[in-house]
Chain A
Amino acid sequence: MTPILIPTPLRAYTGKKDTVHVTGATIGEALHALTAEYADLRQHLFTPEGKLRSFVNVYVNDEDIRYLQKDATPLKAGDTVSIVPSVAGGAGAAAPTRSAELTPDDIKRYSRHLILPEVGVEGQQKLKASRVLLIGAGGLGSPAGLYLAAAGVGRIGIVDFDAVDFSNLQRQILHGTSDVGRSKLQSAQDRLLAINPDLEVDTYETALTSKNALDLFKDYDVILDGTDNFPTRYLVNDACVLLGKPNAYGSIFRFEGQASVFGVAGGPCYRCLYPEPPPPGLVPSCAEGGVLGVLPGVIGTIQATEAIKLILGTGQPLVGRLLLYDAFNMRFRELKLRRDPACPVCGDHPTVTALIDYDQFCGVAPAASAPVAETTVQELKARIDRGDRLFILDVREPNEFQICRIPGTTLIPLGELPRRLDEIPQGPGAPDIVVHCKMGGRSAKAVRQLTEKGFTRVQNLKGGILEWIDRIDPTQAKY
């Protein structure tokens, strides 16, 4: 006979006995014998289909049978079985945080949602009570914000500190031509409220940092990552995992995008996918590499779709799956992702339990790169005007060269530089070399490469051709 310890709430069905002795060779048999004797216990221990309810824990001595052989766990003399209730509950998925009653206007506005059984009045109320934080009001944040506002999300927070630039308008559809020069937050707020005046918009004109992230995130139900750089992406990921908040992730580059949902219990996080950031400079930013304007429209709306599903608690979320989108060949692919038990953030034994220095983690801390010799656009102009012998090297791509150029330059794209070194004058009497690109990043790399190859008197043009256009030649177009 094996003793089964009965927990307090079930003793009403065992004649107040706290221990019942039954015969059985396995756990399954013992529980069967128990419920045969006390039939009222059955519905509290088993589902109508006869499966042990998920919130019923059964222990043999001190071991949970889930980690033994479950129902088939054998029982031997001297074993004690305990039924241990898993006590759980809670306000339910994304429950209302304020009065989420739908007004007659709401009912008109959201009627196409209300007639969807998967949304309905209850779902629309959840949306109304929900709060989503957009990290960035750029390419991804624009379509996501527009659709979330239109869908009836009650509160949208936006973190951004940029001003609208002409080069944003090709894809950042929150902002219009007349907004150029305005703060992106102001422009975004106006646009979102124009769509939905009932929306509450919280604006945070700040960079997201390890110091403010947890505080900013804590009041939101879903975080939507629309960042364009690795340090912030890791920061968003870690903060979401630490707070237990879902992260609707998306990223874009040239013609390709990806999306997933991280930070959901049991699911993977960004670090499970990419434990280490790429070496700095390996992956160019959109400003360097370009991006098809409509691409963030697709990825941002996927992120918004996932945010809405998470709030509604319906559908199959993009958890444990990485969706890859190739706009050039118009192809979607899906990769399976698993939570890595060894993940330093969401693993079984996390080592990252507070936010760290993400610039350092990604190797982009300013101290990480050795300084290169620099010159300014004013100095360059003065030397050209004086007739100094100069070799001005433009390391941009040919399509950029077509948009604007500094007169008298030689174009060698950065990627071709190693095999075209013989085109650059070297040796006694050779002219000084000035290297430029769009903003100064690629040309700094070129200066380092040339210096390593033995070129002397090589300087980087600070601020690149954009600075040249701003200060010296405003007649040329910027991009």
Chain B
Amino acid sequence: MSDVRGARSEARGADGGAQSVTGEARGARLSDRVRDAIRRHAAEAYPYECCGALIGAAIDDELVELVEIVDAKPLDNVTEEGPRRRFRVSATDYRQSEARARELGAELVGFYHSHPDHPAQPSQYDLDHAWPNFSYVIVAVAHGRPGDIRSWRLRPDRSQFDEETLA
């Protein structure tokens, strides 16, 4: 727990932009191993978008919401709209991801996907399809090389994404 709190204060110190409108700080913590796995998947899938499930635990208290991501599971991109600009997770993979999280005694906390040759910011399309209470981790891939990783969370009124500090 001290680890989590340490990361939290570090995260808040590092980037004031992680303050959400409600005044709560939000953050997600990604180990180097998970971060590398996501980046590797994104580079392999280039020029197409990759996607995968994030498994971990959400830790809530009054001051901060922190998501600890312990595993990233690559999933098939089954979009029918061209994988260059889109991803979709099949219903089967979604259900298996929840089941897998349960087996691990953890939770499905969100999904990651890549933006080939595009910044790690959610698009309008991402917003239109977003679910609340999930971390959406986006990794930018420029000419096949993974770049920025950022994490986003849908505002409860669906109006926009707020960035989460990624530690």
| Residues 63-116 (chain A) with a chain B CB within 8 angstroms | 64, 82, 84-98
Say which one of B1-9, B20-28, B30-38, B131-139 lies at the interface with A: B131-139
Interface residue tally for chain B (C-beta within 8 Å):
43
**Are A87 and B132 neighbours in the complex by a CB distance under 8 Å?**
no
Tell me whether A244 and B88 are in contact in the complex, defined as CB-CB below 8 angstroms, given that A8-B133, A89-B126, A90-B49 are known contacts: no
Using Cβ atoms and an 8 Å threshold, which residues of chain B touch A218?
Answer: 47
Q: Measured between alpha carbons, how far is A7 from B80 in the docked complex, in Å?
A: 24
Q: Measured between alpha carbons, how far is A221 from B86 in the docked complex, in Å?
A: 13
A86, A88, A90: most-surrounded residue (chain B CB, <10 A): A90
Contacting residue for B129 out of A43, A55, A95, A98, CB 8 A? A55
**Are A90 and B125 neighbours in the complex by a CB distance under 8 Å?**
yes
Q: Measured between alpha carbons, how far is A92 from B119 in the docked complex, in Å?
A: 11
Known interface pairs A90-B85, A245-B82; 12 further A-B residue pairs with C-beta atoms within 8 A, sorted by A's residue number: A8-B108, A89-B113, A89-B122, A90-B79, A90-B87, A90-B115, A91-B85, A95-B118, A96-B117, A98-B117, A219-B47, A244-B83
With both chains docked as a complex, state the minimum distance between the C-beta of B112 and any C-beta of chain A, in angstroms: 10
Using Cβ atoms and an 8 Å threshold, which residues of chain A touch B83?
Answer: 244
| Residues 358-381 (chain A) with a chain B CB within 8 angstroms | none
* A40 to chain B: closest residue by CB: B156
Tell me whether A12 and B132 are in contact in the complex, defined as CB-CB below 8 angstroms, given that A86-B88, A90-B86 are known contacts: yes
Q: Measured between alpha carbons, how far is A244 from B118 in the docked complex, in Å?
A: 19
**Are B126 and A7 neighbours in the complex by a CB distance under 8 Å?**
no
Bitwise, B53-67 to A at CB < 8 A (1) or not (0) is 000000000000000
Main secondary structure of the interface of A (DSSP, over half): loop
**Are B84 and A88 neighbours in the complex by a CB distance under 8 Å?**
no
* B157 to chain A: closest residue by CB: A43
Using Cβ atoms and an 8 Å threshold, which residues of chain A touch B104?
Answer: none
Residues of B within 8 A of A (CB): 47, 49, 51, 79-89, 91, 94-95, 98, 101, 107-109, 111, 113, 115-118, 122-126, 129-134, 136, 156-158
| Residues 43-72 (chain A) with a chain B CB within 8 angstroms | 43-44, 55, 57, 59, 64
* A64 to chain B: closest residue by CB: B91
| Residue A287 interfacial (CB < 8 Å) | no
Using Cβ atoms and an 8 Å threshold, which residues of chain B touch A85?
Answer: 94, 131
**Are A87 and B111 neighbours in the complex by a CB distance under 8 Å?**
yes
**Are A89 and B98 neighbours in the complex by a CB distance under 8 Å?**
no
**Are A84 and B132 neighbours in the complex by a CB distance under 8 Å?**
no
| Residues 254-297 (chain A) with a chain B CB within 8 angstroms | 265-266
**Are B88 and A88 neighbours in the complex by a CB distance under 8 Å?**
yes
Tell me whether A84 and B82 are in contact in the complex, defined as CB-CB below 8 angstroms, given that A10-B132, A89-B130, A90-B125 are known contacts: no
* A94 to chain B: closest residue by CB: B85
Using Cβ atoms and an 8 Å threshold, which residues of chain A touch B116?
Answer: 91
Residues of A within 8 A of B (CB): 7-12, 40, 43-44, 55, 57, 59, 64, 82, 84-98, 218-219, 221, 244-245, 265-266
With both chains docked as a complex, state the minimum distance between the C-beta of A138 and any C-beta of chain B, in angstroms: 28
Task: Report the 3 A-B pairs with minimum CB-CB distance, sorted nearest first.
Answer: A92-B123, A90-B86, A89-B126
Using Cβ atoms and an 8 Å threshold, which residues of chain B touch A86?
Answer: 88-89, 91, 94, 129
Q: Measured between alpha carbons, how far is A404 from B124 in the docked complex, in Å?
A: 63
Q: Can you show 5 pairs from A to B with CB atoms below 8 A apart?
A: A7-B131, A8-B109, A43-B157, A86-B89, A244-B84
Using Cβ atoms and an 8 Å threshold, which residues of chain B touch A43?
Answer: 157-158
Tell me whether A87 and B95 are in contact in the complex, defined as CB-CB below 8 angstroms, given that A9-B133, A12-B132, A219-B47 are known contacts: no
Using Cβ atoms and an 8 Å threshold, which residues of chain B touch A10?
Answer: 131-133
**Are A88 and B87 neighbours in the complex by a CB distance under 8 Å?**
yes
Using Cβ atoms and an 8 Å threshold, which residues of chain B touch A59?
Answer: 91
With both chains docked as a complex, state the minimum distance between the C-beta of B49 and any C-beta of chain A, in angstroms: 6
With both chains docked as a complex, state the minimum distance between the C-beta of B136 and any C-beta of chain A, in angstroms: 7
With both chains docked as a complex, state the minimum distance between the C-beta of A8 and any C-beta of chain B, in angstroms: 5
With both chains docked as a complex, state the minimum distance between the C-beta of B153 and any C-beta of chain A, in angstroms: 10
Using Cβ atoms and an 8 Å threshold, which residues of chain B touch A44?
Answer: 131-132, 158
With both chains docked as a complex, state the minimum distance between the C-beta of A241 and any C-beta of chain B, in angstroms: 11
Using Cβ atoms and an 8 Å threshold, which residues of chain A touch B85?
Answer: 90-95
Tell me whether A88 and B80 are in contact in the complex, defined as CB-CB below 8 angstroms, given that A95-B115, A95-B118, A218-B47 are known contacts: no
* A56 to chain B: closest residue by CB: B131
Contacting residue for A97 out of B87, B118, B125, CB 8 A? B118
**Are A91 and B123 neighbours in the complex by a CB distance under 8 Å?**
yes
Contacting residue for B133 out of A12, A84, A93, A245, CB 8 A? A12
**Are B115 and A9 neighbours in the complex by a CB distance under 8 Å?**
no
Q: Measured between alpha carbons, how far is A90 from B80 in the docked complex, in Å?
A: 12
Using Cβ atoms and an 8 Å threshold, which residues of chain B touch A97?
Answer: 117-118
Tell me whether A244 and B82 are in contact in the complex, defined as CB-CB below 8 angstroms, given that A8-B108, A89-B126 are known contacts: yes
With both chains docked as a complex, state the minimum distance between the C-beta of A108 and any C-beta of chain B, in angstroms: 27
Tell me whether A221 and B91 are in contact in the complex, defined as CB-CB below 8 angstroms, given that A92-B125, A95-B118 are known contacts: no
Q: Measured between alpha carbons, how far is A64 from B108 in the docked complex, in Å?
A: 22
Using Cβ atoms and an 8 Å threshold, which residues of chain A touch B111?
Answer: 87
Using Cβ atoms and an 8 Å threshold, which residues of chain B touch A94?
Answer: 85
Q: Measured between alpha carbons, how far is A265 from B124 in the docked complex, in Å?
A: 20
Q: Measured between alpha carbons, how far is A86 from B91 in the docked complex, in Å?
A: 6
